[in-house]
Structure 1
Amino acid sequence: MCGIAAIIAPPGIRSGPRETRAREQELLGMLESIRHRGDPECFAERRAGPRAALGTNRLAIVDRAKARQPQTDARQQVWLAYNGELYGFRDLRNELMACGHRFHTESDTEVVLNTYLEWGAEGLKRLNGMFALVLHDERDGSVLAARDHVGIKPLYYAEWNGTYYFASEQKALLKQPGLIRTVEPGTYIKNGVPHRYFRLDPRPLRQSDDEAVATYRQLFDDAVRHQVETDLPVAVTFSGGIDSAAVLHSARRHHPDVTAVTIGFEGSADVEVAERYCAEEGIPHIVSRLTTGELFDVIPRIAAGAEFFEAIDAMDTCVGYFAFRLVREHGFKLALCGEGSDEVMAGYDLFKEHPDPGDLMRYRVHNLHRTDLQRVDRSSMMHSVETRVPFMDRHLLEYAYRVPMSQKLRGGTDKWLLREAFRDRLPSYLVDRPKIRMPDGSGLKTTLVDHALQRDDYDRALGQPIGIDTPEGAFFLHQYLLAGYPMPRERHKRAGYDYSPNGYFEFIS
């Protein structure tokens, strides 16, 4: 897992040594702003050529000794900067070897490179994982940037006078002219033109309850098994809810060294339940209790690091920040979490109240890349921790997305299918525990809202032009602007929840 950046000059531009060095220095500045996304000893692995400069801050997980980036082919004609993890990639590696490709590392990065060499952009359809990449093909001068199927890993870009700038976080592009845009999930951009290579099938499945439970459980186990195929110890952020409990249980089935990590304020219901389960099962468990003082102190860093201005996402990130700090303090580079389950399995109360919960599910899933998945990425990478999200495994998501709503919401019970899949694996106090939103379960409650109300150093009407009409929303927007980000463009609302026509927010430069 890494932070990547790239600068690609227009076709026909071939710089001399002075221009190439200048472009390399510009690239180094971009990588410096996202230094936290990699190991210190792997900072700014890079290559600057006559037209393109690509670089990586590498967080070494797979083939830590040899998988230096950017990687290239034997003739040094195709260069790849890659941020991600492929799951079960050794099967694809064997297929590529049968096609005649030779490998010099054990890394998934080299598998991605050879997948492109064999199948071009069509090869993206073969990948299951979380990734963002930029590839420069000197054979035809083409540039390809791509993002995983649901947007687990981030990728942004700006264009000015034909030069493209790419980076893992927006902060690396703030000094560049032009509009900062998002590479959309399941999309690749080739020579400036976006193409969708992945779409979720919305057609409901026809299946019995028994078939659904068996299929879901098998796909979930496969997802977790692939995501813990590592020789590193694994942490699981554990809230005591059904989602993270399912991840923790399956991770322990497939990896010998798994530790649960839980945080909360004094009196937290999440901590109480998590401590009970870990004690009963003999699971190594790290617990930390937060204080309001340290929470308030970290708000400016959250605004800068997470790149959020929505209050709910910012508040959730504040708590996530401390969870992943705890993970890193105890020596873990790799963690798993339960994010994404509530969106695809209809886990929130608002699904029960919505006139069309299926429509809401589709909307929430397709916007995860700018809500929960962005929060997980930023709050974990601020501490150089790679966090994997089994519920977003491509094969599991493709299936769960098509599960009829009647097998997600039943008799007032949310996430019915997930609960039934783990009914014989987890105690009833976990399987049947109602959904408790993070502010309540962690003990955060209204602490940050009250803090915003007590502050008088910001304009409470600041966010009204873009549809933010609460004091806490204005407060976090104020913090976001103080961090150096430009004012977001107009935001729209639809059917009671936030909506952006393009699924992301553009910025005024």
Structure 2
Amino acid sequence: MCGIAGFIQDLDSDSQRKIVTDMTDVIAHRGPDSAGVFTDGHAALGFRRLGIIDLDGGNQPIFNEDDSLAITFNGEMYNYRPLRDQLIGLGHTFTTHSDTEVVLHGYEQWGAEVLHRIRGMFAFVIWDTKAHALFGARDPFGIKPFYYAHGNGVFMYASEIKSMLQHPQFVKELNPQALRPYLTFQYPAIEETFFKGVFKLKEGHYFTYVDGNMEISRYYDSEFIETQQTLEQTVEEIDSAVLDSVQAQKIADVEVGSFLSSGVDSSYVAAVTRPEHTYSIGFSGGRFDESVQARELAQSLKLNNVSESIDGDKAFRYFPQILWHLDEPDSNPSCVPLFFLSELASRDLRVVLSGEGADELFAGYIDYGVHTKTKFIMRTTRLLQRLPKKLRHRIADMVRGRSFPGSKHMYANLAPAERCFIGQAKIFDEAEAESLLQADFRDAPSVQEIVDQSYEQVRGSGISELKKKQYLDIHQWMPGDILLKADKMTMAHSLELRVPFLDKELMKVAGRVPTRYLIANEHTKFAFRQAAARHLPHVSSHRKKLGFPVPIRDWLRDKKFYAIVRSTFEQPYVSQFFDQTALLKLLDENYKGHIDGRRKIWTIFTFLTWYDVFFIHDGKKPELVSTDNTKNTK
């Protein structure tokens, strides 16, 4: 697990080396163990290493036999050993025992086809010194980040955007089209980032850059189909695939631990892994401290558990640093506890497993269509779902906008996914966001235009509306929010996070789970929970999903924290983005308890804090913030 950065630009090697070293030094947290640089007057490849596999011999860049190819690789490949044996049989000579060198020789042997053979998480580049061509790729689910920019005669890339800010020819400019979608989705929802001209390489894609031209191609996509499997067969396949993936991802030359929350996903992973150490975090104050249930589960499974509680003072002190590590604003409140959970685990370990991806692959969100507990409504809706598509949609149109008991549940289950579902987060309605924004920030892709890019891929596929929602989340919410914060918050503390549920082989199993076993009997992830129950107490395998509960409602009605947020909202630069009067009214009405505007306020506060870090203070890592007077402190 590492950080990579580099650029293509004809310069003398000394100048290249200085620039690329600056680019990698700023992300030294991703790889504190060692650094590596390659320059040849055309390309500069930089690398920071966190040693996990082949601790003595895995330094990068790594070269092939004749030094015509050089690779820098961020991630882990879990099936590298059999591929290494195969490549040796084909005549390749290895100088290390690292998984990175397997990718390099695999590319040398099979070209882009190597991506179909790799099982793991990754973002990497390979420079062909003879053809002056750069090849790069990102893993199938977008677990590892990859950013790129092309302008002013330079092509540059990095694991984190802050690396690009170090290049003397990078022009830092806010992307005005990013803000309006963010206010609805809560995360960077478009391919171009909040930094104008900086893009994300999409999950499951690779590129080739030659002579100033970049060609991008898709090599992988998640596939959903409808099958007639029995529940017993489905549960057996899920459990077998989970066991296999966890076993594969335990491979390391260092100890592997596990995060442990009160939810079924991380609990399933921990129960199967049986690590020496598990870690939990919570907020002091009762209902927000799920570390209590995590400790109870650890005791029942006879696992060691380390847990801590944090409070609002600590959260606000570190919040600017959290945004600095994120690179872009993400107002998912769980970024805060994940940051501190990662720090906790990093005191002992370099690698942990976690449960990201299970909700998307196995339908774990209530927004997929669990909006009532009334059995009559649920039974009636299930009967209506058997009607022909046109009739179902007509009934959905009749229900839309009505407020009778169960109307939301019926509409969500009868309407086409394209019309009723935009993903897991919806903070501001589009019209509401537009009315709050200044004119320069209203011209942006619409919510429908953004989600239609994914829905278009499954239109006419014959899969259920529920599976269409899963497909959208796998390509929007998961890489844009869940995996972005998972990578950035763990790597902030030089901690590698592995996610066993996001595995190509496990995706094959998830894709053929019958829709009726995804959500059933009021339970999301129905078949998945049955599989988890083979290893967990019933109370853990069937516990309602909480996410990462964060007490932002309490914070925003606490005088101290309200004052911090209001101080931010009052800053002169705020008026260039928002109707400042309306913004302050929203904050004050929430503080008085007249409305519940916590998520909207937190979303705007997150953006403004991020803007302050990267534009007002020029992207320097912030000092810790005092919650007593909001002034900086050493």
- Normalising by the residue count of structure 1, what TM-score does the alignment of the two structures yield? 0.87
Mean Cα displacement is larger for which, 81-90 or 341-350? 341-350
Q: Partners in 1 of 2:555 and 2:164 — Cα distance?
A: 29
Q: Partners in 2 of 1:157 and 1:28 — Cα distance?
A: 17
Q: Which residue of 1 aligns with 2:602?
A: 472
- Cα deviation digits, residues 262-281 of structure 1 (max 9, x gap): 11022245222111121222
Q: Does 1:328 align with 2:350?
A: no
1:269–1:292 distance in 2 versus 1, CA, 3 Å: closer
Q: Partners in 2 of 1:462 and 1:320 — Cα distance?
A: 32
- Cα deviation digits, residues 390-413 of structure 1 (max 9, x gap): 111121123213423221101211
2:519 to 409, 413, 424: 409
Q: Which residue of 2 aligns with 1:69?
A: 60
Code of the aligned partner of 2:359: D
Map 1:87-106 → 2, pairs under 5 A: 87-106=78-97
1:380–1:246 distance in 2 versus 1, CA, 3 Å: same
Q: Partners in 1 of 2:40 and 2:20 — Cα distance?
A: 12
Q: Which residue of 1 aligns with 2:37?
A: 46
1:322–1:160 distance in 2 versus 1, CA, 3 Å: same
Q: Which residue of 2 aligns with 1:424?
A: 534
Q: Partners in 1 of 2:63 and 2:224 — Cα distance?
A: 38
Deviation at 1:463, TM superposition (A): 6.0
Contact 2:53 2:253 (C-alpha < 8 Å) held by counterparts = no
- Cα deviation digits, residues 191-211 of structure 1 (max 9, x gap): 111011111223223311111
Q: Does 1:148 align with 2:139?
A: yes
Any idea what SS the aligned residue of 2:76 has? strand
Q: Partners in 2 of 1:338 and 1:474 — Cα distance?
A: 28
Contact 1:346 1:414 (C-alpha < 8 Å) held by counterparts = yes
Q: Does 1:210 align with 2:232?
A: yes
Structure 1 unaligned residues grouped into runs of 5+: 487-509
Map 1:103-182 → 2, pairs under 5 A: 103-175=94-166, 176-177=170-171, 179-182=197-200
1:484–1:404 distance in 2 versus 1, CA, 3 Å: same
Q: Which residue of 2 aligns with 1:495?
A: none
Deviation at 1:100, TM superposition (A): 1.2
Code of the aligned partner of 1:435: K
Contact 2:55 2:253 (C-alpha < 8 Å) held by counterparts = no
- Cα deviation digits, residues 281-311 of structure 1 (max 9, x gap): 2211101111221111010001111124232
Code of the aligned partner of 1:275: R
Map 1:56-455 → 2, pairs under 5 A: 56-175=47-166, 176-177=170-171, 179-191=197-209, 192-252=214-274, 257-266=275-284, 267=286, 268-312=288-332, 315-329=333-347, 331-352=348-369, 353=371, 354-355=412-413, 356-367=465-476, 368-439=478-549, 444=551, 446-447=553-554, 449-450=556-557, 453-454=562-563, 455=565
Q: Partners in 2 of 1:447 and 1:303 — Cα distance?
A: 21
Any idea what SS the aligned residue of 1:3 has? strand
1:92–1:462 distance in 2 versus 1, CA, 3 Å: farther
1:482 to 612, 618, 634: 612
Deviation at 1:418, TM superposition (A): 1.1
- Normalising by the residue count of structure 2, what TM-score does the alignment of the two structures yield? 0.70
Q: Partners in 2 of 1:225 and 1:111 — Cα distance?
A: 20
Q: Partners in 1 of 2:115 and 2:498 — Cα distance?
A: 19
Code of the aligned partner of 1:472: W
Contact 2:123 2:137 (C-alpha < 8 Å) held by counterparts = yes
Contact 1:144 1:188 (C-alpha < 8 Å) held by counterparts = yes
Code of the aligned partner of 2:226: P
Aligned residues between the structures: 465
Q: Which residue of 2 aligns with 1:36?
A: 29
Q: Partners in 2 of 1:406 and 1:462 — Cα distance?
A: 49
Q: Which residue of 1 aligns with 2:2?
A: 2
Code of the aligned partner of 1:484: F
Deviation at 1:172, TM superposition (A): 1.1
Code of the aligned partner of 2:317: D
1:5–1:417 distance in 2 versus 1, CA, 3 Å: same
Contact 2:281 2:289 (C-alpha < 8 Å) held by counterparts = no
Any idea what SS the aligned residue of 1:311 has? coil
Contact 1:462 1:478 (C-alpha < 8 Å) held by counterparts = no
Q: Partners in 2 of 1:423 and 1:384 — Cα distance?
A: 33
Deviation at 1:318, TM superposition (A): 0.9
Q: Partners in 2 of 1:236 and 1:6 — Cα distance?
A: 32
Deviation at 1:464, TM superposition (A): 5.9
1:85–1:447 distance in 2 versus 1, CA, 3 Å: farther
Q: Partners in 2 of 1:29 and 1:157 — Cα distance?
A: 17
Q: Partners in 2 of 1:290 and 1:195 — Cα distance?
A: 44
Deviation at 1:447, TM superposition (A): 4.1
Q: Partners in 1 of 2:94 and 2:342 — Cα distance?
A: 34
- Cα deviation digits, residues 32-75 of structure 1 (max 9, x gap): 22111012x40x31111121111110001000111110011111
Q: Partners in 2 of 1:141 and 1:231 — Cα distance?
A: 35
Q: Partners in 1 of 2:225 and 2:615 — Cα distance?
A: 40
- Cα deviation digits, residues 165-212 of structure 1 (max 9, x gap): 010011111351371111111111101110111112232233111111
Q: Partners in 2 of 1:248 and 1:462 — Cα distance?
A: 48
Instruction: Tell me the percent identity.
Output: 29
Any idea what SS the aligned residue of 2:290 has? helix
Q: Partners in 2 of 1:463 and 1:208 — Cα distance?
A: 54
Q: Which residue of 1 aligns with 2:174?
A: none
Contact 2:256 2:349 (C-alpha < 8 Å) held by counterparts = yes
Contact 2:65 2:93 (C-alpha < 8 Å) held by counterparts = no
Q: Partners in 2 of 1:131 and 1:250 — Cα distance?
A: 24
Q: Partners in 1 of 2:98 and 2:116 — Cα distance?
A: 19
Deviation at 1:221, TM superposition (A): 0.6
Q: Partners in 2 of 1:407 and 1:485 — Cα distance?
A: 48
- Cα deviation digits, residues 301-354 of structure 1 (max 9, x gap): 011111242322xx211110000100012x200011111111222212111243
Code of the aligned partner of 1:476: T
Code of the aligned partner of 2:76: E
Code of the aligned partner of 1:379: M
Q: Which residue of 1 aligns with 2:436?
A: none
Q: Partners in 2 of 1:366 and 1:79 — Cα distance?
A: 30
Contact 2:271 2:301 (C-alpha < 8 Å) held by counterparts = no
Mean Cα displacement is larger for which, 21-30 or 259-268? 259-268
Mean Cα displacement is larger for which, 127-136 or 468-477? 468-477
Taking only aligned residues, the RMSD between alpha carbons, in angstroms, comes to 2.0
Q: Partners in 2 of 1:89 and 1:76 — Cα distance?
A: 21
Q: Partners in 1 of 2:316 and 2:44 — Cα distance?
A: 39
